Structure 1
Amino acid sequence: MLTSVTGVFLVACIVELLRRRKLKEKYAFLWVFTGLVIIPLGFFPSALDSVADAVGVASGVSLILFLGVAFLFVICLQLSWEVGRLEEESRTLSEEVALLRIDVRELHERAPENPGRTAGAAPGSRT
């Protein structure tokens, strides 16, 4: 019964995080699916042992442990890929900003002084 309550609590938390826009939909699907798989295990614990026997695992607990570790491995792999992609994107954006700063500095150095403009005034503003 505790397993089912945990699954319901997990699904409710995911739905609430989605509602508050604290969790992206692309991640929520996986977590909701996990919660929906956990819920029936509390109501039918013998089904887990039947599945374990069918796949050749000694007990349902061992199967859950293996699947949990495999699940966490996949999550870590996906998040590592995402972090690598974001690091590359951040580096590219930093390089583009640096190049734009150089261009702006060069334009300011080449621009003739405007005698009607006061220091610190925005371009195009009248003083």
Structure 2
Amino acid sequence: MILNIAGLVFGFLVLGLIVALLLRRQLREKYATLWLVIGIALLLLAVFPGLLVWLSNTLGVAVPSNLLFALAIVLLVGVALHLSWELSHAEDEVRRVAEDVAILRAEMEELRAGMPSATGTPRSQGPTGDAPSE
């Protein structure tokens, strides 16, 4: 009975935390979906503890807690794989943005080099080594 209450409290805490993070825009919806499913699963297991026993018997797992640990390991591997995939995409995007900024900076320096200074003389010479004609 105490474990059921603890499971209910923990499930509601997880769901409350996810909703709070969503409302403060600290967690994106695509990640919140997974955590909401986990919170609901925790609540279901707390309300119906026989569900885990039935599922372990159906799948042929001798001890229900072993099934719970196996599912947790699969979940953690899936989350790690997904975050690695997201990180790879973010690194690619950062590289592309850095390249774009470098190109824009080079173009800006070329434009500044061709602009006359405050004294009316060009800042630098043209690409051929001659002073640009005005």
The TM-score normalised by the length of structure 2 is 0.81
* TM-aligned CA deviation for residue 45 of structure 1: 1.5
* TM-aligned CA deviation for residue 79 of structure 1: 0.4
- Is 1:13 paired with 2:14? no
**Equivalent residue pairs, number:** 116
**Structure 2 counterpart of 1:49:** 53
**Structure 2 counterpart of 1:91:** 95
| Larger CA Rg, structure 1 vs 2 | 2
Of 20, 28, 34, the match for 1:30: 34
| Per-residue deviation, residues 12-56 of structure 1 (Å, max 9, x unmatched) | 111111111111111111101110011121122222111001011
Percent identity over paired residues: 37
Instruction: Look up the equivalent residue of 2:87 and give its one-letter code.
Output: V
Unaligned 5+ segments in structure 1 are 117-127
Unaligned 5+ segments in structure 2 are 121-134
* TM-aligned CA deviation for residue 112 of structure 1: 2.8
* TM-aligned CA deviation for residue 113 of structure 1: 3.2
What SS does structure 1 have at the residue aligned with 2:27? coil
Could you tell me how far apart the structure 2 residues matched to 1:53 and 1:104 are?
69
Q: Which range moves more in the overlay, 86-95 or 42-51? A: 42-51
Instruction: Look up the equivalent residue of 1:83 and give its one-letter code.
Output: L
- Computed over aligned residues only, the root mean square deviation of the Cα atoms, in angstroms, reads 1.3
- Is 1:72 paired with 2:110? no
The TM-score normalised by the length of structure 1 is 0.86
Could you tell me how far apart the structure 2 residues matched to 1:109 and 1:93 are?
24
Could you tell me how far apart the structure 2 residues matched to 1:105 and 1:11 are?
53
Could you tell me how far apart the structure 1 residues matched to 2:51 and 2:105 are?
64
